[in-house]
Structure 1
Amino acid sequence: MKKTILSCAVLAASLGLAGCGSSSSDNDSPSVSSSSETVSSTSSAGASSSAAAQNTYAFTNANGESTVSYSGQVARQVMVEDIKAYIGSIVKSGDPTVKADLMSLFENPSSANDAAAIQMSIEGYTLAQSTYGDISTGKSLVGKIAGGYVQDGSASGETSRLINDTFIGWQEGLSADAKPYDLVVYYIDQLQALAAKADTSSVETVDGAVTIDKVYVAENGVDYQQLVQKFLLMAVGFSQGTNDYLGPNRDFASELTLDGDAPYTTAEHHFDEGFGYFGATPNYAELTDSEIIAAAVDSDMNGVIDLTSEYNFGQSVNCAKRDVGAVSGSDLTAEVISGFTEGRTIVAAASEAGSLTADQETALQAAIAKAAGAWEKCIASTVVHYINDVTGDMEAFSNGEFASIDNFYNLAKHWSEMKGFALGLQFSPYSPFRDAGTGALVAIDYGTDQSASLDEVLAWMGDAPVLANDSDVAIQDYKDALMQARAVLQAAYGFDSDNVENW
């Protein structure tokens, strides 16, 4: 991570910004104390002014009140973490409540879980919040999943947030017109079946047959704990962030009035919600990659982590991991956070002025594209990372057997992370796999006279990995297919070849 400041174009576009820094809020809004630099800039009309070029995602109005609010997004980040924790706790007991419990965590019907205890924990720290309602009330994952869901026979939720109303990338157990919601339910059904299964399954290792004792790992090599978590991060968080709150059709210019009694405008709140789904702390730009990877950031050194401002969730951590794993010219953390802070600075200035100029609109869209593009590169590079892991796991196969039970578990884990994240690359309208005008999938040129689209990449990955007891031909063909997928991702996102090898 390198310290980031706002670009000259953004500084010029942000004239009239009241200021930034630490503040308190009555809206459960994250805020953080920070220092900022003042940079001179000149507007298109030739007037000289100054604007704060800051390293934190912290903005205030003329009264010094924080205008940043994304507690609902933090609540959903925690819900995803808790679903992962619940899946990890499942035991083979025949307990029929697994599906009901997971669907409750997914749907939060009638806000019933607002008073429920948060399951996630952070070693060495206590949490400032004890329940979901302590973060934000009335929130659910199902209400924000791409494509929506069916309730009482009617379509509900984000029915317009699935690009071209088409979901691709998974075949098993789904109908041709299935939506992301249906895939989540399918995964939950599989977990219920695994928990209720009377007998045990085993895999052949070089030391003989070993029982699969992780209930959430199926004998076909699918780790549903990883698959569910990663897919939810994408189908809810990445979709909402890039295709709703920061989507190309978002009309920020019409949202510059105060959001009810809140100290922020609707435009500011919507931009913040996009940032909240990225999952970074407000002081993200001031942290080292190692500090980001640690996730918890005890800024006030009190031993208590405020989940709304002192914890890095999801993709914000993966950006740092890929920067650390790169051997040549990668600073995804700086790229993504500068896009967010540049864009939010423009929205703050426009909110104070009550209008968004043409120049500001142009700069805002550029900043959003920068943030969304870097966010997606963090995901795509993580898919590359897991492609490398999966092929490495397969290299350990020995004469039709796994090297150990851990070899099997690692393959299942890495494959499920790879597939869960890869499925999510379809959810952003800013993706290189999408036509900017129509949203249609486009083919990416790679190699020599070769091209492939995202649906082909996902098909190469399949709905489960090839296992040690498959034929040598099938194993080699699958490794070759994954290398093709990696080559397509490298071409689509312009990744350095050395980084692709090293991730």
Structure 2
Amino acid sequence: MILRKSLLATSILAATLGLTACGGSSNSNEPTPTPTPTPTPTPAPTNTAPTDINLSSTVIAEDVVGAEVGSLTAEDDAEDGHTFTTDDVRFTIEGTMLKLASHHALNFEQMAADETISVKIVVTDAGDLSFEKDLELSVADTAATPGVNVYEFDTKLADATGSSVSYTGQTARHALSSEIKSYMSKFNAEYIAGLGTDAPTIARTRLDALWGDYAAVADDEITHLGDSDSLEANYAQTTFADISGSGKELSGKIAGADPSKMYKDWLKEDGTGFAGWTDFGDNKKTAEGLVKFYFDLFEAQIKAMVDGEQLKDPAGNEITKAYITPQGHDLVQLVQKHTLGALMFSQGTDDYLDEGLDSQNVEAHKEGKPYTSLEHQFDEGFGYFGANRHYLELSDDEIAKKGGRDTHQGKYDADMDGKYDLAAEFIWGNASNAAKRDRGTLEKDDEGNIINKPSNVTTDFTAVAVTNFIQGRKILNDNVGVELTDEQMTQVKAHVFDAALAWEKAIAATVVHYINDSLGDYDKIKDGEYTADEFASLAKHWGEMKGFGLNFQFSPFSPFADSDLNPKKDTVGATKFVELHTLFGDAPVLVTADIEAYIADLKLARDLLKDAYDFNEDNVLGW
């Protein structure tokens, strides 16, 4: 058989391919292909948690609100993607920058020797693994420097030398208010008996003079600071006239008496003027009318005691102090706390630090004065707050007279002349209360020793108020001789707003404090059986709560104000102020069957204040 060559070639090729596909013959001359290996998968990198946290600086400058501490970094197998957090309410973290919380500063003088601050930081990587560490921080002392942490400014006016700061009139009124408080506090049964049958007239005459006749009392010694020898030894001024010469009546500056720069008419009696109290007796329904009503009650109490009437509280305990009424009013507290608002807070915020800022900053206020009109208006607003000029050089404990250096209890001899200048070195009024609240809630042992300092304190009313006062005043001082630009005045007004709000928050925190104290008192008296001292305690705490609570309406910056300067006008406003005082009432509830409902009202009032001022829950419950 003969095969065609093309078919033979095809057959051979097919056979060859077939054998190759089967692995081929051992006799084949064709090379065996090398199989391609299957790649071994590369293991994914294993994420590990960060192993450390570092901070670029661990030293915090004192007296700087919202001060930056340092930049945070993590030691980790990844170089980025880290998130830093802290639940310490004193601090905040912006990106990687650790800072003090806004409206918070630290005070070197408040720290014990070698004391540090611990703050817990948590770092979390992109894989959600975390590491935490307690960082130890220290506080650096800042030297007392005018215009930085001291409210002191040399004059920039030509032909003038020395300090441009002056607010002696405000100091004189603080001294008068404190003198009234001290004088009324003397009137117990024994003191009244010593005065005899003329005691009611003597008391009323003295109160009316301290309130509204400066000429009659100007040369009197300031007795609430000590006797003659003590005054002479310790103070640069011993009489009211030593502080300020004339015309410093309290009556002339209470809201309504000086209406030229007020944001509302306080003399209206149709409910749109002064609010928060119902019964004024025979007096006008004004801020001053309420003071006169309290004086009337005080005089009537003294007269009753002189006439032999036995004043008793609802439990039948004898009342031996003329300023405690059977209705539970402590007239000492009501007069003083109302005055701090209707005069000091009103004049400071609604006069000098509002329309007062429209004054000129080019020339002397009056011929021969070392300050401009604008500087003086600002100083007078600061003066009503009550801080001394070296306020930030004292600890909260020292300002509040609760510890620290014996020579710094509410005062500071800055010029070391051996005497305290009442207008420059002494602390008055709300400036003292601010520090009490900034101290937070301190745990104490049975002997009263502090055993634990709180880490949840979120307020620094002292630093916020005074650093803003200093910064605002510095802008004025730096630009004496020219009118401020719109931008500069905007900066000044921003400082004023922050200072005024810190001032008011200190008042609000104090109201919360006395709500809490009143609630504690009610635990002791709600069954209707209590001692005279327990009744007096409720009267005192309620009086401070109510008296301070009346203050809020007087500032145009207040959350409770019906003013365009109030950013919470539409959410809080004047309606909430009326609601607050409806909850408080005009006297503590003393009928046993009604006390539980009133306790609930006080708690509602506390919540209202917490929301109005954005207070921290822990502080509200602990103050």
**Bin for the TM-score computed over the shorter chain:** 0.7 to 0.9
Shift of 1:299: 3.4
Residues 166-193 of structure 1, C-alpha deviation per residue, up to 9 Å, x if partnerless? 1001101358962111111111111110
Aligned partner of residue 356 in structure 2, secondary structure: coil
User: Where does residue 163 of structure 1 map in the other structure?
Assistant: 264
Shift of 1:56: 0.2
Among 306, 322, 338, the residue aligned to 2:467: 338
Greater RCO, CA 8 A, separation 6+: 1
Note if contact 2:557-2:565 (Cα within 8 Å) is conserved in structure 1: no
User: Where does residue 135 of structure 1 map in the other structure?
Assistant: 243
Q: Does 1:387 align with 2:497?
A: no
Note if contact 2:263-2:556 (Cα within 8 Å) is conserved in structure 1: no
CA distance in structure 2 between the aligned counterparts of 1:497 and 1:273, rounded to whole angstroms: 34
CA distance in structure 2 between the aligned counterparts of 1:426 and 1:454, rounded to whole angstroms: 7
Residues 71-104 of structure 1, C-alpha deviation per residue, up to 9 Å, x if partnerless? 1110000000000011112344442232221111
Shift of 1:251: 3.9
CA distance in structure 1 between the aligned counterparts of 2:622 and 2:556, rounded to whole angstroms: 29
Note if contact 1:122-1:296 (Cα within 8 Å) is conserved in structure 2: no
Note if contact 1:444-1:491 (Cα within 8 Å) is conserved in structure 2: no
CA distance in structure 1 between the aligned counterparts of 2:569 and 2:393, rounded to whole angstroms: 37
Residues 434-491 of structure 1, C-alpha deviation per residue, up to 9 Å, x if partnerless? 2442879956569xxxx96101101211111012xx133x101111111111111100
Query: Residues 122 and 316 of structure 1: is their aligned pair in 2 closer, same or farther, counting only changes over 3 Å?
Result: farther
CA distance in structure 1 between the aligned counterparts of 2:533 and 2:469, rounded to whole angstroms: 40
Among 353, 363, 377, the residue aligned to 1:257: 363
Gaps of 5+ in 1: 9-33, 38-51, 149-156
Aligned length: 442
User: Where does residue 432 of structure 1 map in the other structure?
Assistant: 559
Query: Which has the larger displacement, 480-489 or 430-439?
Result: 430-439
Among 161, 164, 168, the residue aligned to 1:71: 168
User: Where does residue 119 of structure 1 map in the other structure?
Assistant: 223
Percent identity between the two aligned chains = 38
Shift of 1:250: 3.0
Q: Does 1:203 align with 2:303?
A: no
CA distance in structure 1 between the aligned counterparts of 2:540 and 2:331, rounded to whole angstroms: 9
Give the partner amino acid of 2:254: I
Query: Which has the larger displacement, 319-328 or 281-290?
Result: 319-328
Among 143, 146, 149, the residue aligned to 1:55: 149
Q: How does 1:4-403 map to 2 (within 5 A)?
A: 4-5=63-64, 35=143, 54-62=148-156, 64-90=161-187, 91-92=191-192, 93-94=196-197, 95=199, 96-108=201-213, 111-121=215-225, 126-138=234-246, 139-148=248-257, 157-158=258-259, 161=262, 163-165=264-266, 166-173=273-280, 178-197=285-304, 198=307, 199-203=309-313, 209-247=316-354, 249-252=355-358, 254-260=360-366, 261-294=368-401, 295-300=410-415, 303-325=418-440, 327-351=456-480, 353-397=481-525, 399-402=527-530
CA distance in structure 1 between the aligned counterparts of 2:216 and 2:567, rounded to whole angstroms: 39
Aligned partner of residue 313 in structure 2, secondary structure: strand
CA distance in structure 2 between the aligned counterparts of 1:284 and 1:324, rounded to whole angstroms: 15
Query: Residues 314 and 145 of structure 1: is their aligned pair in 2 closer, same or farther, counting only changes over 3 Å?
Result: same
Q: How does 1:464-479 map to 2 (within 5 A)?
A: 464-467=587-590, 470-472=591-593, 474-479=594-599
Give the partner amino acid of 1:363: Q
Note if contact 2:154-2:164 (Cα within 8 Å) is conserved in structure 1: yes
Note if contact 2:356-2:374 (Cα within 8 Å) is conserved in structure 1: no
User: Where does residue 18 of structure 1 map in the other structure?
Assistant: none
Aligned partner of residue 439 in structure 2, secondary structure: helix
User: Where does residue 410 of structure 1 map in the other structure?
Assistant: 537
Note if contact 1:117-1:132 (Cα within 8 Å) is conserved in structure 2: yes
Query: Residues 239 and 430 of structure 1: is their aligned pair in 2 closer, same or farther, counting only changes over 3 Å?
Result: same
Shift of 1:147: 0.6
Gaps of 5+ in 2: 1-59, 68-141, 267-272, 402-409, 442-455
TM-score, normalised on structure 1? 0.82
- Give the superposed CA RMSD: 2.7
Higher Cα Rg: structure 1 or 2? 2
User: Where does residue 151 of structure 1 map in the other structure?
Assistant: none
